[in-house]
Amino acid sequence: MTQYETVIGLEVHLELKTDSKIFCSSSTSFGGKPNTHVCPVCLGLPGVLPVVNKKVVEDAILVSLALNCRIAGFSKFDRKNYYYPDMPKNYQISQYDLPIALNGHLEIELGGELKKIGITRLHMEEDTGKLLHQGTITTTPFSLVDYNRAGVPLLEIVSEPDLRSPEEARIYLEKLKSIIQYTGVSDCRMEEGSLRCDANVSVRQFGKEEFGTKTEIKNMNSFRSLQKALTYEASRQIDVLEEGGRIVQETRTWDEGQGITLPMRSKEEAHDYRYFPEPDLVPMIIEREWVESIRNRLPELPDARRERYVRDYSLPVYDAGVLTSTKEMADYFEACLNAYSSPKTVGNWIMGDLSRLLNANNLEINECPVSPVNLASLLKTLDEGTISGKIAKVVFEDMFATGKDAGTIIKEKGLIQISDEGSLSAIVEEVIAGNPKSVSDYRSGKDKALGFLVGQVMKATKGKANPELVNKLFKEKILN
Amino acid sequence: MSLYYLTAHELHDLLIKKEISAVEINKAVFDRIGSVEDSVKAYLTLTREQAMKTALEVDDLIGAGRPIPPLAGIPIAIKDNICAEGVRTTAASKIIYNFIPPYDATVVKKLADQQIAMTGKTNLDEFAMGSSTENSGFFATHNPWNLGCVPGGSSGGSAAAVAAGEAVCAVGSDTGGSIRQPAAFCGVVGIKPTYGAVSRYGLIAFASSLDQIGPFTRDVTDCALMLNAICGHDPLDATSSTYEVPDFRRCLVHDIKGLKIGVPREYLSEGIDAEVRQVFEKAMSQFELNGAKMEETSLPHLGYSLPVYYLIAPAEASSNLARYDGVRYGFRSEGAQDVVDMFMKTRSQGFGAEVKRRIMLGTYVLSAGYYDAYYLKALKVRTLIKEDFNNAFEKFDILLSPTTPSPAFRFGEKTGDPLTMYLSDVFTIAVNLAGIPGLSIPCGFVNGLPVGLQLMGRPFSEGKLLQAAYTFEQSTDHHKKHPEL
């Protein structure tokens, strides 16, 4: 059977979290009553004019720099013309042939190797409103329109067709999200629509240079559905080719429920957007000094931070990658290190118990009930031998559930480790007396039996016995 | 002389001398409206109550011995494609026949700061597309000098109102001649300022890169007062200029000795009425008498103005007018099957024939495969036309031409053939394409109909145009004549 290669390029839309919209002073905040965050300008009333929000251009430049793009010296807005009731003017102010930035890239890690993914362009545009239907769009007796989102600033980031599998596409999108979150200009929440992704997909026989006919896939609302949709689409295309068919260039929509892509419109039905330069806005001349002043605001980005963790904290590359995947997690990690200086231990706790509890409770790390200082003091308590590792996990769960610090919980619940040799000796002797079979097993060389005996002491002390001390006592008392 | 035929500066003098009250002025003008509006039909909406209220406030100020701005209490009409908060604004189109803007155009706000008495909203060709006001979605306006003739367009209502004494001054908009051509036809002063001199915020867009707001007045002095009131940077209009606005009253100097005036020969070649040419030549001699240096010159690409304009303006219009779809405001056709059907029915029924013609033309020239050949080519030729003017202004302070090739025509004379109608703007269009200021001033009559003289200058040289026009006006008496109604 012929071997095929999948070729994918992604078009990502990001909502910027500026205070006001891209061309007027209406609020961008989420969740207001319908049509309350609007003004004559974003409603497109007769006679109004757009004025560019400078913050949007700054944010666009910041993201462009983070993605290693070349910033245009001269850029302009254009009108993209098409009719849809969620668009107040029936044209969208966007950028066509002179976008704010071109020719960038980011690096993703694939099986330990770095791969550079090209970014074709980045441009600014306005978001549309939202249609509300009763039931489905085809059966609703009428539709309502909410223009609160109309005019919210968007960045569109178009990748080169450099991605070679659905998994690569997902990893690219995760990396893009991570970089943009570091810049702080967008929440990048796919579920809430502040990060949206369309994909161009084609397949070709391995070794061929020429691209196959592509389809555009829309409506993928999570990282998981992106990978699922692309996997489905690639195999659909391969099936068509294997059966001797041809790929139709078209736009398809991902149906999450059925797990398939469905045709939306063909190339012939594609819109002619009749782009032309927006006459209500003057072209932008982007001064180099301005770009440099924005560059100075760039935070340390995930790649640089990961390298620093490997270099300065001697963390494994994998750990460093996980800990720097979001700015919030890396910030949390570093805040812990300020109070507790073992990076590997802190990292293990964050990647282990902390992440597990966050996931289980559907929380982000910046919502974590355990503050970095409290985690650090728990680890110190552990080092000091006040509690055992096992008890520490219990204490941590309690800290997560209540927000209390470790000391309080240990005190309240009487969890201090018993390291007093005298009192532990008594319990050890009781266990030796009560379990002659295990004692003789251990004596005859069955090490497993020691574990059982230690367990009995732990049971008797509700886990508070110092395990090392208990081990030592058994060895002394049985073997000597 | 009747009160309603005085100029704003004359009325202002009478007001501050307390020889007359603002209420009396406004009563006189509204009485005049009462007696002639049925035959002129300049207005779509009257705002008498509002005007009277402002007049009272102005009288109170005067009574209290407080200073008043130069245009305070003066009855001024606004073209109905310029938004005034709470006042129906239709652009003379059925598609927004009931639109009441929740905001003021910047120009309206600036005039309100001057405490003008807004008389009402004047008629126009639908969305300012036309040259006779016959394209109004509601009714035609008549030329006060001859009721069987058109007042010109698209700002026909504003020009006719000022000429007929139904307003002292008026505001219009000019995309290809829509102020200067009706000013010429109605025998009043009209200026299209430099693109960017006056904010377009609140002006219902026709062709954004060409539209500009300007005043109609009975003399050049009033023109200067109106420009003082409306020019200046507006943060709400990204295309408005940040240049420093002079006090235009200082430009009203009766002296043009040594002024270098060029007369582009292309304006005097084909298509110009012999009588209009005679009137124009007489005006030229007057400038020479006043000491200007006249010389023939050439704008080689001027002949392309009309085709370039009818590619660029409809292209922008097709996009600007896309928002009128029945979803949010204005007219919505009943009984549509779905949203696309609603769009189509609403727009088919709501727009008039000329507007539809231009939307189709504009949609076509922007379409894939045609953009380069039409729109892009037009932009390039537009640059050549601009360069022609730049070159001419290296040598000349001002360029002079007739405003129109012929005086006002009769109703129906050109409605059958759009191209003939388009040709009536042939002398004014290039000024919009170049973005420069153009002023039309009365310079004589042909068969009892006024003829206009067009003065064109460098960007932001409105002051120079005013000075030349003022000198001409002081040497002639055309501006003192009024139609008999």
Distance between start and end Cα atoms, chain A: 70
CA of A272 to nearest chain B CA: how many angstroms apart? 6
Could you say which DSSP state residue A51 is in?
A: -
**Does residue A254 share a domain with residue A136?**
yes
Closest residue to A89, CB basis, from B82, B323, B343: B323
Find residue A146's DSSP bridge partners: A130
pLDDT averaged over chain B? Answer: 96
Residue A185 is classified by DSSP as S
- List, in sequence order, the alpha helices (H) in B97-217: 106-113, 156-164, 180-186
Rounded mean pLDDT, B207-219? 98
**Closest approach of chain B CAs to the CA of A76, in angstroms?**
13
Closest approach of A371 to chain B, Cα-based (Å): 46
Q: Do A305 and A324 meet the contact criterion of CB atoms below 8 Å apart?
A: yes
Q: CA-CA distance, A229 to A247, in Å (whole number)?
A: 17
Sequence-ordered alpha helix ranges (H) in A352-388: 355-361, 372-383
| Together in a domain, A107 and A232 | yes
Measure CA B230 to chain center: 14
| B373 part of contact set with chain A, CB < 8 Å | no
Cβ pair B45, B111 in contact under 8 A: no
Instruction: Give the largest Cα separation in chain A, rounded.
Output: 98
Same domain, yes or no: A339 and A238: no
C-alpha neighbours within 13 Å on the C-beta side of residue B250: 3
User: Would you give the distance in Å from CA B335 to the centre of its chain?
Assistant: 39
B272 touches chain A (CB under 8 A): no
Q: Please choose, from the candidates A36, A48, A216, A42, the residue with its C-alpha nearest in 3D space to the C-alpha of residue A126.
A: A42
Q: pLDDT at residue A442 above 90?
A: no
Q: Compute the nearest-CA separation of B41 from chain A (Å).
A: 24
pLDDT given for residue A152 in this prediction: 97
Does residue B138 belong to the interface with chain A, where contact is any CB pair within 8 Å? no
pLDDT of residue B312: 97
The mean per-residue pLDDT over the stretch B105-124 comes to 98
Which of B103, B108, B208, B319 to probe the A interface (max A CBs under 10 A)? B319
Contacts of A40 in chain B (CB under 8 A): 101-103
Residues A263 and A348 in one domain: no
pLDDT of B260 above 70? yes
Number of structural domains chain A divides into: 3
Domain positions in chain B are 3-259+397-480
Residues A442, A400, single domain; the answer is no
> Helix A448-460 crosses helix A421-434 at what angle (to 10 degrees)?
120
Cβ pair A150, A88 in contact under 8 A: yes
Q: Which strand ranges, in their side-by-side order, compose the sheet holding A70-71?
A: A70-71, A101-110, A113-126, A153-159, A4-15, A195-205, A215-220, A250-255, A260-266
One-letter amino acid at A117 equals: I
User: Do both A385 and A434 map to the same domain?
Assistant: no
> DSSP per residue over B168-216, as a string?
SEEEEEESSSTTHHHHHHHT-EEEEPPTTSB--TTB--S-TTT-EEEEE
| Closest in B239, B322, B340 to A280, CB measured | B239
Q: Are residues A251 and A156 in the same domain?
A: yes
Cβ pair B238:A143 closer than 8 A: no
Residues of A in contact with B318 (CB under 8 A): 81, 274
Give B-chain residues touching A129 at CB under 8 angstroms.
Answer: none
**Contact with chain A for residue B239, Cβ under 8 A:** yes
Q: Give the per-residue pLDDT at A467.
A: 82
Q: How far apart are the first and last CA of chain B?
A: 14
Measured between CB atoms, does B383 come within 8 Å of chain A?
no
pLDDT tens per residue across span A15-65:
999 999 999 999 999 889 999 999 999 999 999 999 999 999 999 999 999
Of residues A40, A47, A91, nearest to B319 (C-beta): A91
Measure CB to CB from residue B366 to each of A45, A46, A276 and give the nearest one: A276
Do A407 and A440 lie in one domain? The reply is: no
Domain residues for the domain of A400 are: 302-413
What is the C-alpha to C-alpha distance for residues B341 and A316, in angstroms, rounded to an integer? Answer: 63
| Statement: residue A189 has pLDDT above 80 | yes
- pLDDT value, residue A269: 74
Asked if B366 reaches chain A (Cβ–Cβ under 8 Å), the answer is yes
Q: Are B446 and B468 in contact (CB under 8 A)?
A: no
Q: Where are the beta strands (DSSP E) in A69-152?
A: 70-71, 74-75, 78-81, 91-94, 101-110, 113-126, 130-133, 143-146
Q: How far apart are CA A162 and CA A287, in angstroms?
A: 31
Q: Is residue B126 pLDDT above 80, yes or no?
A: yes
Contact B459, B465 (CB under 8 A): no
Distance of CA A316 to the CA centre of its chain: 21
A448 and A440 Cβ atoms separated by less than 8 Å: no
A167 plus A49 within the same structural domain:
yes
When computed from its CA atoms, the radius of gyration of chain A, rounded to whole angstroms, is: 30
Report which of A438, A441, A478, A471 is spatially closest to residue A457, judged by C-alpha positions: A471
Q: Are residues A309 and A288 in the same domain?
A: no
pLDDT in tens, A143-171: 999 999 999 999 999 999 999 999 999 99
The answer to whether residue B412 neighbours chain A at the CB level (below 8 Å) is no
* pLDDT tens readout for residues B315-361: 999 999 999 999 999 999 998 988 999 999 999 999 999 999 999 99
CA distances from A367 to A55, A175, A328, A364, A420 (A): 28, 22, 10, 5, 39
Q: How confident is the model at residue A395 (pLDDT cuts 50, 70, 90)?
A: confident
| pLDDT of amino acid A1 | 64
Last residue of a domain, which of A259, A293, A327?
A: A293
Domain boundary among A263, A293, A323: A293
Smallest CA–CA distance from A23 into chain B, residue: B236
Using alpha carbons, select from A451, A391, A456 the residue that is nearest to residue A424.
A456
Question: Which class in CATH covers the domain with range B3-259+397-480?
Answer: alpha beta
A165-185 mean pLDDT: 95
Please name the residues between 24 and 83 in chain B that touch chain A, using a CB distance below 8 Å. Answer: 81-83
From A257's Cα to the closest Cα of chain B, the distance in A is: 27
Q: A236, A271, A293 — which closes off a domain?
A: A293
Residues A90 and A226 in one domain: yes
Cα–Cα distance, B316 to B314 (Å, whole number): 5
Residue A440 clears pLDDT 90, i.e. is over it:
no
| C-alpha–C-alpha distance, residues B434 and A122, integer Å | 33
Catalytic residues of B: 79, 154, 178
Average pLDDT of chain A to the nearest whole number? 91
Determine contact: B322 vs chain A, CB below 8 A: yes
pLDDT of residue A336: 92
CB distance A47–B371 less than 8 Å?
no
**Which residue in B202, B323, B366 is closest to A274 by CB distance?**
B366
SS3 content of chain A, % helix, strand, coil (to 5): 40, 20, 40
Are A78 and A149 found together in one domain?
yes
pLDDT more than 70, % of chain A: 100
Q: How far apart are CA A8 and CA A160, in angstroms?
A: 8
Cα distance between residue A143 and residue A134, in whole Å = 7
State the best of A25, A53, A56, A280 to mutate against chain B, taking most chain B CBs within 10 Å.
Answer: A280
Summarised one tens digit per residue, pLDDT across range A399-421 is: 888 888 887 888 777 777 777 78
Question: How high is the pLDDT of residue A115?
Answer: 95
3-state secondary structure of B457: strand
Structure tokens that stand for A423 in this block? 């009192």
- The predicted model gives B262-266 an average pLDDT of 95
